[in-house]
Structure 1
Amino acid sequence: MPPVARGGTLHGGRSRPPVAVPASTTVSAPRATIGGVPRWDERPLVGRDGELATLVAAVDRAAAGRGAAVLVAGDAGVGKSRLLDELAVRAAGRGLRVLTGHCVDLGDVGLPYLPFVDLLRPVAAELGDGAAGLFTARARAAGEPEVPDLGSPVAALRPPVDDGRLQLFEAVAAALTGLAAERPLLVVLEDLHWADRSSRDLLRYLLARLADEPVAVVASYRSDDLHRRHPLRPLLAELVRLPGVERLDLGPLPDAAVEELVRGLAGAVPDRTVEDVVARAEGNAFYAEELLAAGLAGETLPLALTDVLLARVEQLGPAAQQVLRVAAVAGRRVRHELVAAVGGLSPADLERALAEAVHSHLLVVSPDGAYRFRHALLREAVLADLLPGERVRLHAAVAAHLAAVPGAGTAAERAHHLQESNDLAGALTASLEAADEAGRVGAPAEQLQHLERALALWPAVPDAAGRAGRSQPVLLLDTAAAARRGGELHRAVALLRAAQDVLGPDGERELRARVHYTLAQALARVEDQDSALRETTAAMALVPAQPPSPVRTWAAATHARACFEVGRREEAAAAAEEALAAADALGLDSAWADVAVSLARSRGGEGLAARLEEALARARRAGDPDVEMRVLFNLAIVAYEDGAAEETLRWSDAGLARARELGVEWSFYAAELRHLGVLSRYVLGDWDGSLALADQLARVPEMAAHVRAAGLLVQVGRGDPAAAARTAWARGLVRRLGAHALLLVSAAGAELELAAWAPDPAAALTTARTAAARLEELWGAERIVVVRLAVTALAPVADAAASARLTGDAAAEREWVAGGGELVALARAAVADHERVVGEYGVEAAAWLARLAAETARLAGRAMPELWSAAVAAFGYGHVYEQARSRWRLAEALVAAGDREAAVGPLRSAAETARALGAAPLLAAVTALARRARLELPGAGRVVPAEAVFTPRETEVLALLARGRTNRQIGSELYISEKTASVHVSNILAKLGAGSRTEAVAVAATRGLLPTG
């Protein structure tokens, strides 16, 4: 029996898991001193498709001759101006004239009619002396007296007497309807919250007056500026009751849209910076831009943004400002009782202050009665404005209140306030309590955060060990365990190395051994197998085998795994047998289960699943989530290697449900189960489910990034335009992480699929070579996944060789055949090493090897339908997409072999699958083959015969072009002059829209227009 009964997967690699805007709309300008600052003038519009559609619909109604109006509400910075800019572009593209007016904050007394002066000034400048006629034509037609001096918009909007406003309003209406009579009109009014009373009255009149005219009016205002007595409030209530007027609320952008905005502004931004900006901006586009610029400059909260935020705070009275200061120190949410206890205000003053803060839209009342800041950055700005002494005093007062009132706050809140008030000992104790609370509710990320806070406080607290009830190395071990549960493997390694430093060479031997084998487990999962073996060897040397002990048992179990990883099988088997015997003697079910998995996977054979299920029962009995997740993963991967994708899905879904129940969704093996869930759904043809699972959570640890990257196969397979950017993200992360083999496989696989459909054979060759070399470094003989990567790259290379063969370019053909031969050699070397060291390979590898044989024949120009039939059968184990892709190639081979009738069946089947999956590139390729071969394919359109495109003589010339003939040779063979041959060639290029003779042949071949004789 071979050392391992099955080989690895070709998506997962190994049999065990690898380890692994226009400038005018922007408030702030970029700083000249910041390197790499984004181009704000190229700000993309993101996350507003629905809102834009509503506005465009209003424009379309105006274009159809009906009036429409939309009142756009949103907080400052949420993206109103950018949205209206885009609307103006869309409206202009639809043939509308766009007029824009801006309101300006000029205090209590503004300039009357300023926004209308602003929007009509360009009209007056354009019309010159004809402007007066525009303003009076409609009035005269209605029998009304002529309005004097309306050639200037400023004069037109300054009524001579109060009772002349109706005449004035009608004159403006006449101007707009006159303009709209020439072509439909879009009127944009920005910042209506600053509009003067006269402008508000005129807007009311126009919306009623223009209801039947081809005019769309879109007005924006800041909803957060509308306090209870704001003069715009009653007008809005009145306007929305008018026919044709609707209100559009712009809420915060989704996190995904903010991320897209940030990456669109500056493509090379580090992922951590993007995550920080997304979290802090809370959907506000302006805040995101400012935070991005600040992050690139190394700032925390930008000064310009702080000033903008504090300007609104400074408009409040002293008591309301004090309430905001207390609330800022207390947290994002604060109860009334806490403000009352800490704020130092009388009940009456407190009520008035809170009312002022709420009515000014700085605080918001939550459904549970708590107050919260409207935006987290407002709280940050208030905090930054506090004097140091005031901040410490307030934190101390809040901490005292939380301690004195049962249930007033959590341990995490107390820890924060105690630390900020310089009570470090109390903060240490509270942080450990908070960590325990987080652990009990299954929140490893928060548990890690609290434990790391305790570690940071440790040196400053004299009796830290007594307060913690454990030594510093033990606390480091506990913190590393939380890091592992949260998927932060590199952090766990750093914490365990710190524990070794604290213990030193003279530390307690069993504790040192425990740190060594725990570090080995973490190192193995970040692809450092040699270091893991060194750590397990050190652990084994520290603790004797007799009498059996839990530490020695786990050291032996971990040593067995490390030895199996590097091929030291005899030593691994001896350590495993020792660990099994000791685990039985001591009743250590979790250690027994862990060793049983290692032995079962190394020995393989019949009954493997039954042995793994026994290990699962023991792991659950022991209550060890890490070992339980490992067993569940191995049950899933065994099914995947057997080609049982549905069974894989059953185990991966069950494992993920259990991981959620235990609160370890991003621990190592839980992430691998999610990865298998993504892949098995992809294989089974559930592409929507695959992509949804890959993108289910907003944030993932970097060591689990391959889960999200695995969704790229669906995006590329569907021709999603976003796939290229997401592939670039994965490629950049591969470069940064270095030893994350699964992420490398996902990124390289997506790049190769993109290159195959582009087509870009040169990029495919480069990517495959680089990935194969790196996988050999990381996985050695277990790199059988290289077969899939090499075959995927071989497809566009074989296409390039076929194209060169078609056009008679012998040099190019030799170049591509040589490149393809290199890919074939890479695949065969990976298979040979796998068979030599690991043993048999599974059904997935067999399917890709069948396709390798077929692609190799195609590279050499041999149409061998029997090889493609074998590939179709091999992928019949359940890989829906690859079977369809092989059917397409089978049909192509049958056509090339002259059996066009036999090609219809596989071609239609491939088309049906491509439509069901939404695989647009494959469907396009299938359709192109049907047209080229002149086969009827449902949904592919009518087959156009060559004689419907070319004259008989042009058909003859095209046939000779395909053989690489020059104009002189064409003329000689057809008994025409060289000049006449040149004219025919030019006509052919024009009909095909081709820029060269080679391109013309390729296009004709794709469209099925090449002569077959």
Structure 2
Amino acid sequence: MATPEAAVLSAAHATIGAVPRWDERPLVGRAGELAALEAAVERAVTGRGSAVLVAGDAGVGKSRLLDELTARATARGLRVLVGHCVDLGEVGLPYLPFVDLLRPVAAELGEDAAGLFAARVGSREPDAADLPSPVRTLRPPVDDGRLQLFESVAGALAGLAADAPVLVVLEDLHWADRSSRDLLRYLLARLGDEPVAVVASYRSDDLHRRHPLRPLLAELVRLPGVERLDLAPLPDAAVEELVRGLAAGVPDRTVDDVVARAEGNAFYAEELLAAGLAGETLPLGLTDVLLTRVEQLAPGAQQVLRVAAVAGRRVRHELVAAVGGLSDAELDRALAEAVHSHLLVVGPDGAYRFRHALLREAVLADLLPGERVRLHAAVAAHLAAVPAAGTAAERAHHLRESNDLAGALAASLEAADEARRVGAPAEQLQHLEAALALWPAVPGAADRAGRGQAELLLETSTAARRGGELHRAVALLRAAQDVLGPDGDRELRARVHYTLAQALARIEDQASAVRETTAAMALVPAAPPSPVRTWAAATHARACYEVGRRADGDAAAEEALAAADALGLDSAWADVAVTLARSRGGDGLTARLEEALARARRSGDADVEIRVLFNLAIVAYEAGTVRETLRWSDEGLARAQVLGVEWSFYAAELRHLGVVSRYVLGDWDGSLALADRLARVPEMAAHVRAAGLLVQVGRGDPAAAARITWARGLAGRLDAHVLLLLATAGAEIDLAAWTGDPATALDTARSAAATLAELWGDERLAVVRLVATALAPVADAAVTARLTGDAAALAGWTAAGESLVALGRDAVADHARAVGPHGVEADAWVARLDAEAARLAGENAPELWSAAAEAFGYGHVYEQARSRWRLAEALVATGDRDAALGPLTSAADTARSLGARPLADAVAALARRARLELPGAGRVVDTAAVFTPRETEVLALLARGRTNRQIGGELFISEKTASVHVSNILAKLGAGSRTEAVAVAASRGLLPTG
């Protein structure tokens, strides 16, 4: 069978193209497909033949999946034979993949190979009656002398399978020669009762209508034991995992770009990643691979693809007909060829689209500049002549690419207006920025646009703010200031100043915000009242209150309120009313905010309305009425969606409140779902997604650590994003508490407290939650040190814990002095801080933990359960085991309902230690069932940190005898040291209580 040419060609192992040489290519997103293939292998192990035909587009990951399968099969003891088909054009070498897979067997057996490959049917060739029934159901083989050869191969595989199950892997079946296809047909029918699994892969996108493999596949899938497995494109999450697994520290923007462009194709993702890291756009090697299939088409089909590539990812028949320059008959033939070659796909609406976006990129890249310009101009002309054929955005694109910059400017502004009307601020921003880019190149741009460049920059900044792009808004407003200069229109300059102040305040730059509002106030006189001056005063009031300039804030607020009333500016009146209500507090706060809400809605100002709704929600949260918070946040989010401002600043804060409120109330599934609901999240709204970390940590989700790393990196880049910092630090501290990592908890809490002190000053009450949570693992470390007699560790952890307590108490005192009393949530965390401080000092204080549990009863389900767990622990420590059972049972029930595995484990461990019968906590074991009375005495002294000599002295035994007892205790507990033995005994409830 083997020939020299076959040996050379099979060794080449033709592939899709050169791929980046990564150290390790992770298998991602294929768990289901791998399980299906392993099931086929399992059938072979049990003695039954099976086959799987693996179909998928080029580069989707077939080879990587089969590599994983062969590695696992080899590890299970199967003999794995791999053969590859090679593209040799119309005439291929016969049986090439089977030569490839059987050559290693022949080399291994040497002279004994002849016996293995001898025909098993005697000296005569079998007739149809001799063949197994499945074979007879197939198209009868041509008796051209090959039947004995086929049976020899089948017999050889069966003989190999007699020693160990066999996995046969055939790759790239779409390139198989006719003889190989016939042999495969025979083997799949012949080996049905042998322990042989056959897995064959082929490219589904290469199977045009006349491809010779098509009829064979139709026959094979009718055989018993033959399955077809289609590899769909990888989901975006799997592509992201692949990219991050291939190269560490890849920038998020690069990852996002690769995920978007690869469209689930693993090979494309690898190539795009390599190109992105090298600063390229579309890799030359990938372009060549993609264009190879295009170049095989007739000229008409290639022209259709060029038109479609210029037109966009999706193109209608009418446009191709108008622009392609082909007759109707030529067009039909060309489109049919492009579709049947799997380069174009017909959508449900009859439009054509490229099978993969990168194919379109490659075709575009191959166009000559002049040809591309002419095609874009032709498409733009068609869209202008038939307005229903496309959108303003499409027209703008084609006009820009055909160098009609004036037309592109007008169309971009029209597209921006369309996006604004449908509530799409991100798209509006994109079109406005495109217009700004064209501005310098278009003579008379202001006349064509109907406004000046500074006004356009101001409009663009509004779109950026509504889309959650606050830093971009700041940059646009500063550009507007540069355009206006010191001599520009005073009212327009004032608008830019106070609008910039609003954006700066939302990125925690309060000092700069005050400077901008002060400049705005100086540009426009107070009398007569004007809308610009009114908004300048309203914004100045808010900025002054933020930096503690209350007198200036009061004066500006009163002016703005009076002017808004005089001018009938309901939006400005509502905005000022919110500022005054929040700064002055007092009774009737909610009623005042509801009046502001009515005026804001009457004005039609979406930003002010969402701000009022947020303040209604946060006031309810601060009052401890969490269900009311949830009602307002849900109403606000629904309204923001209607208004098209879902990711504006206050809409994002409402979403954050919705995530946190659900977490507090115990709706953890709802909290996590809301945090992850939308795929697109602006960086300034990243705290919404990070807030879901509390649920992941509380449930012990292994994915929490990776998401914390992501959030921490983003928080480091956005160093003034306090809510992102709080969400990330809180989750990281909580994770450290459950994993017994007091050092991380301590460092994170200290760092976050320092940042909060810098940014929020006296209003940093959130520090209390962070330090109270961090104090738990620090106190745990102190308890362990006290138990094992490690005086140095005890002193260190006690000092560290006391520093945390001081941070918390200072934050409470500063808030009381500068702001006033705190709300019920802060009350609860202060109670928790007091109880943890007592535990740090070695005090068992059930009354403090009882107070903490009661304080969290305002609605914080999880923290109340945690406090009840600690209350039970304190009661056990004081000897009141009976009283401990109630709070411990309650904590266990809550942990179970929330799916809070770490808390459930801690509750169960305490029940075992205290020997309390708690459902689900495991059987209570009596110390006497494990240790002898003398070992029990020794263990009690070990727990007090006694040495062998001290144990011997107290028990009136020799030091050597004490050492023997200690060794026995370590062996029974499976511990490697005295400290570990005490810890294990404590966790199992085996420490003596006397």
- TM-score band by shorter chain is over 0.9
SS of the equivalent of 1:41 reads coil
Aligned residue number for residue 859 of structure 2: 878
Say which is worse superposed, 127-136 or 381-390, in terms of deviation: 127-136
Query: Which whole-Å CA distance do the structure 2 matches of 1:30 and 1:245 have between them?
Result: 32
Q: Specify the code of the residue in structure 2 equivalent to 1:930.
A: A
Return the letter of the residue paired with 1:861.
G
The Cα offsets for residues 380-414 of structure 1, whole Å up to 9 and x where unpaired, read as 11111111111111111111111112312111111
CA deviations over 1:528-557 (Å, ceiling 9, x no partner): 001011111111111111111111111111
Aligned ranges 1:315-714 → 2 under 5 Å: 315-714=296-695
Q: Say whether the 8 Å CA contact 1:277–1:291 is kept in structure 2.
A: yes
Match of 1:7 in 2: none
The TM-score normalised by the length of structure 1 is 0.93
Per-residue CA deviations over 1:427-452 (Å, capped at 9, x if unaligned) read: 10110011111111111111101100
Secondary structure (helix, strand or coil) at the match of 1:100 reads strand
Q: Compare 938-947 and 898-907 and name the one that shifted more.
A: 938-947
Q: What SS is found at the alignment partner of 1:253?
A: coil
- The C-alpha deviation readout for 1:19-78, integer Å capped at 9, x for no partner, is xxxx999966677xxxxxxx7332222222222232233333333333332222111111
Cα drift, residue 977 of structure 1: 5.1
What's the counterpart of residue 59 of structure 1?
Answer: 41
Deviations 1:909-940 (A, max 9, x none): 21221121111111111111122222222122
1:700-733 residue CA offsets vs partner (Å, 9 max, x unmatched): 1100010111111111111111111110111111
The yes-or-no answer on 1:47 pairing with 2:29 is yes
Partner letter of residue 932 of structure 1?
R
Q: 1:391 and 1:359 mapped to 2: Cα distance?
A: 26
2:938 aligned to 920, 943, 957, which one?
Answer: 957
Paired with 2:971 and 2:107, the residues of 1 have a C-alpha distance of: 47
Q: Identify if the C-alpha distance between structure 1 residues 446 and 928 changes in structure 2 by more than 3 Å, giving closer, same or farther.
A: same
Aligned counterpart, 2:96:
114
Letter in 1 for 2:435: A
The Cα offsets for residues 305-359 of structure 1, whole Å up to 9 and x where unpaired, read as: 1111111112112221121111111111111121222222222222211111111
Letter in 1 for 2:338: A
1:195 corresponds to which letter in structure 2? Answer: A
2-structure distance, mates of 1:846, 1:475: 49
Deviation of 1:684 after TM superposition, in Å, equals 1.0
* Contact 1:263 1:269 survives alignment (8 Å): yes
In 2, distance between residues paired with 1:171 and 1:323?
Answer: 50
| Amino acid of the structure 2 residue aligned with 1:851 | R
1:844-859 to 2 correspondences below 5 Å: 844-859=825-840
Match of 2:251 among 270, 286, 303: 270
Structure 1 runs not aligned, ≥5 long: 1-22, 32-38, 146-160
Instruction: Call closer, same or farther: CA 1:809–1:386 in 2, change over 3 Å.
Output: same
Q: Secondary structure at the match of 2:798?
A: helix
Secondary structure of the corresponding residue to residue 59 of structure 2: coil
CA contact (8 A) 2:50 2:225 kept: yes
Matched, 1:966 2:947: yes
Cα separation, 2, equivalents of 1:360 and 1:425: 40
Distance 2:497 2:13 in 1: 60
> Cα offset for 1:95?
4.5
Residue of structure 2 in register with 1:68 after alignment: 50
Determine if contact 1:751/1:764 at 8 Å carries over to the other structure. Answer: yes
Q: Secondary structure, in 3 states, of the residue corresponding to 2:146? A: helix
Q: Which residue of 2 aligns with 1:761?
A: 742
Q: Distance in 1 between matches of 2:931 and 2:179?
A: 70
The code of the aligned residue for 1:551 comes to V
- Pick aligned residue for 2:215 from 229, 234, 248: 234
Q: Which amino acid aligns with 2:38?
A: V
Amino acid at match of 1:491: R
Name the residue aligned to 2:3: none
The change in CA–CA distance for 1:935 and 1:178 in structure 2 (over 3 A counts) is farther
Once the two structures are superposed, residues 465-513 of structure 1 have per-residue CA deviations (whole angstroms, 9 ceiling, x without a partner) of: 1110111111111100000110000000010111111111111111111
> Once the two structures are superposed, what CA deviation does each residue of 1:671-712 show, in whole Å capped at 9, x if it has no partner?
111101110111111111111111111121100010111111
Of 209, 215, 222, which aligns to 2:190? 209
Taking the aligned partners of 1:601 and 1:66, their CA distance within structure 2 comes to: 75
Secondary structure of the structure 2 residue equivalent to 1:71:
strand
Note closer, same or farther for the CA distance 1:405–1:939 as it changes in structure 2 (3 Å cut).
same
Q: Is the 8 A contact 1:25 1:82 kept in 2?
A: no
- In the alignment, what sits opposite 2:4? none
- Quick one: distance in 1 between partners of 2:532 and 2:936? 83
User: What are the Cα deviations for residues 862-899 of structure 1, in whole angstroms up to 9, with x where unaligned?
Assistant: 11111111111111111111111111111111111111
Mean alpha-carbon deviation: is it higher for 748-757 or for 344-353? Answer: 344-353
- Deviations along 1:606-657, one digit per CA (max 9) or x if unpaired, are 2111111111111111111100110111111111111122111111111111
Shift of 1:125: 3.6
Percent of pairs with identical residues? 85
Residue 827 of structure 2 is aligned to residue 843 of structure 1: no
> In the alignment, what sits opposite 1:733?
714
Asked if the contact 2:125/2:147 (under 8 Å) is kept, the reply is no
Matched length: 968
CA distance in 2, matches of 1:24, 1:133: 29
In 1, the alpha carbon distance for the partners of 2:860 and 2:46 equals 51
Farther off after superposition, 569-578 or 981-990? 981-990
Superposed, which structure 2 residues align to 1:62-101 within 5 Å?
A: 62-101=44-83
Matched to 1:619, the amino acid is: A
Matches within 5 A, 1:812-851: 812-851=793-832
| 3-state SS in 2 of match to 1:407 | helix
Q: Of the two structures, which has the highest relative contact order with CA contacts closer than 8 Å and spacing of 6 or more?
A: 1
Displacement after TM superposition at 1:122 (Å): 3.2
Alignment partner, residue 5 of structure 1:
none
Selected match of 1:259 from 223, 235, 240: 240
Preserved CA contact (<8 Å) 2:19 2:270:
no
Checking the alignment, whether the CA contact within 8 Å between 1:169 and 1:205 is kept in structure 2 is yes
Separation (CA, whole Å) in 2 of partners of 1:509 and 1:627: 25
Could you tell me which of 987, 995, 1000 is aligned with 2:976?
Answer: 995
**Structure 2 residues not aligned, in runs of 5+:** 1-11, 127-141
Deviation of 1:982 after TM superposition, in Å, equals: 4.0
Partner of residue 745, structure 1: 726
SS at match of 2:227: strand
1:817–1:859 CA contact under 8 A, matched in 2: yes
Counterpart AA for 1:565:
E
The amino acid of 1:50's aligned partner reads G
Q: CA deviation at 1:951?
A: 4.3
How many Å separate the matches in 2 of 1:959 and 1:91?
Answer: 53
Q: Contact conserved, 2:243 with 2:270, CA < 8 A, in 1?
A: yes
- One-letter amino acid matched to 1:429: A
Amino acid at match of 2:865: A
The whole-number CA distance in structure 2 between the counterparts of 1:359 and 1:634 is 59
SS at match of 2:389: coil
Aligned partner letter, 2:229: L
Compute the displacement of 1:784 (Å): 0.7
